[in-house]
A and B are shown apart, each in its own frame.
Chain A
Amino acid sequence: MAIITYRDALNQALREEMQRDDSVFLMGEEVGVYQGAYKVSRGLLDEFGPNRVVDTPITELGFAGVGVGAAMVGLRPVIEFMTWNFALLAVDQLVNSAAKMRYMSNGQVGVPAVFRGPGGAALQLAAQHSQAFESWYAHVPGLKVVMPATPADAKGLLKSAIRDDDPVVFIEGEMLYNLKGEVPEGEHIVPIGQADIKREGADVTLVCHSKSVSVTLKAAEQLAADGVNAEVVDLRTIRPLDRESVLSSVAKTHRCVVVEEGWPFAGIGAQVVDTIQREAFDELDAPILRVTGADVPMPYNKQLERAAKADPAKVVAAVNQVLYRE
C-alpha cells in the first residue's frame, strides 16, 4: 500500500470522484491556478479545466451560496474554505440553506454538497485563525460533520462525503496535511458515522477526533510505559455520532476521558459524556473527564499557546485521575 500524505490522500479522493462523476466540481479561493492554499487541489485544474475547478473571489458567503444552489439543481459541489475561520462568513448558507433545504421542501430538494477546509489551531496564527468550530456545525440538524485524523480516513471519508446526498461539513486538520500514512489505492470508502479504534486497550477509553487523535495516541504510549492500557476511539464522524463504538468501549474499560481541540463549553466532549452517562451509567467507575483547549481566545504568545492546547501530558493527568492513581 502506498504511503502518502493526508494532503495527497484528499487530492486522490477529489481526483477519483471527479473522474467517476462529472457532476462533481471544486470551487473556492485559490483552488485552481494556485492549486490550493494547502495544495490539496494540485493538478486538478490541468486535468479537469476551469469549468470544474473554479477560482472564486474572497467572498465566502457568495460562493458557499453558489455551491448550495448548484447542489439544489443536481450538481455535487465541493466547496473549499481556505480555513474554517473564514467560513464564519458563510455560516448562514450552511445553517439556513444547506441544512434546512431537504426539510423545508418536504424532501423534494436535497443539497449534496461538501464544504471542506482546515480547522483548528496551527502554530501562532493567533485568536482569529486558531479555532475549532466542529461543535457549531454538529449542533445543527441537517448537517453531517466529518473529521478524519489519518490519510486513509481522509481519502475514504471524503469519497463518502462527496457521494452523500446531504450536506457534509468536512473539517480537515491544518497540522495534519503533512501526516503520512498507508492509503489504499482506488476505491477506498470509509462510511460516514463509524468511529475507529485506533488503539485497543482495557483500562480506560480515550475518545478523540481529528488532530487530538495523535495527541491521544502519544498519551496512550506514555501510559503504556506506565502499565496503563488505554483504548483510543477516533470518532472520525462527529455527527452522526457512533454511539455504539463509544459505549462498547466504555463498557469494557469503565473509565473514559474525552479529548478535543476545541473549547470546553458545549463542546463535542460534552455530547459524548452525555451519551455515556445516559446509556452506560452503571458501567462507570469514575466521573468522565474532558481534556480540551483552554476556555480563552487562542494566545499568540508561543508559551501561552502551548499552555492553551490539549497535549499528551494533560491527557495522562486526566487518565490518572479517572484511574484513581496518585
Chain B
Amino acid sequence: MTRLTWRLARPNILASLALLAALALYAVLTRRAMTADLDGSGLSACLTSGGDCLSLARDFTDKFNVVLNTHRLLLLVPLLIGMFWGGPLVAREIEQGTHRLAWTQSVSRGRWLATKLGIFLLGAAAVAAALTQLMTWWFTPIERVQDNFGRMNLDVFDFRGIVPVAYTVFAFALGAAAGAIFKRTVPAMVVTLVAYLPIKIGVQTLRDQYLAPLDVTYAFGTSSPRLGSGDWLLSSEVVNRGGEVLGSAGVSNPCQAMAGKAAAEACSVENGYRFVDTYQPLSRFWSFQLIESGIFVCLSVVVLAVATWWILRRTA
C-alpha cells in the first residue's frame, strides 16, 4: 500500500517540490539583497554600535516593504496543503471510482486509509517544518532592524517554532475529512478554505489568554523598562493615583493640554499619573507554541477520527 501511495502521490510531490524550490530561491535572493543593503548603507554597523539608526532603518524598511509583506502569504501554506493535499486524498478516489478498486483488494480499507493519511501527514509536517526553518533564517535581517518583529509578535509567531506544523496538520485533516464526507474534490477544497480560516483566527484571539498576562508600571513620561525586550505588548494604559484607568497611552493624555514639557510633567506628578503595560513576556514563547500546537493537534485528532469513522463505517 505504501508503494502505491507513493506512486499515486508522485505528480503531487513533484509539483509541491517545484513550488518549495521557487520559494527557497526567492528567500535566498531577497535575503542576500537585504544583508547586502544592511552592510552597504551602514545600518549594520550602526546597529552594532548601538547608535540612533532610525532614519537608516526607515530607509531599509521602505526599500524592502514588498518583501516584508510577502511573508504574510506564507500563512496560506497550511491552507494550500489542506486544500490541495487533503481535499483530493479520498475525494478523488471516490470521484474517479477507483475506491471500488482500492477497497476490494486484499489490503483492508483501514490499512489503505492509515497508509494514505500517514504518508501525507508526515509529508505535510515535513514541508511545514522546512518552510519554518527557511522563514526563520530569512527573517533574521528584518529582526535586527525592527525590534517589534520579535518572535512573540502576532504575525511572526505563526511562522516560528512548531505551530506551523500543527496548523498544517490540522488543515490537512480538515481537507481529508471534507473529501471523505462530500466525496467531491472541489467542494472539499472550498469547505477546507471556509472552515480553516475562522478556526485559525478564532484560536488566535484566545492566544493572549493562554497564560495570565503580566503588567509593569512606570512613571508618566518615561519609556517602558520592557522596551526592546521583544515582549508581546497587549495594552498600555494611563492610570491615576487611585488606580483608575483613564485610557490608552497616547490617546487620552490628561496633561496633554499643558503648555510646555515641564508643566505637563508637573501636572502628571500632581495627579499621580503613571503607565501600566500589560504584556506576555518573550520567555513564554515556547509555552505558547506548545499550547497553541496542542490545541491544533487535538482538533486534528478529532477531525481525523471523524474522517476515519466516515470512511470505514459510513461510506458503505
Q: Do A and B come from one complex?
A: no
The chain B residues found within 8 Å of chain A, CB to CB, are none
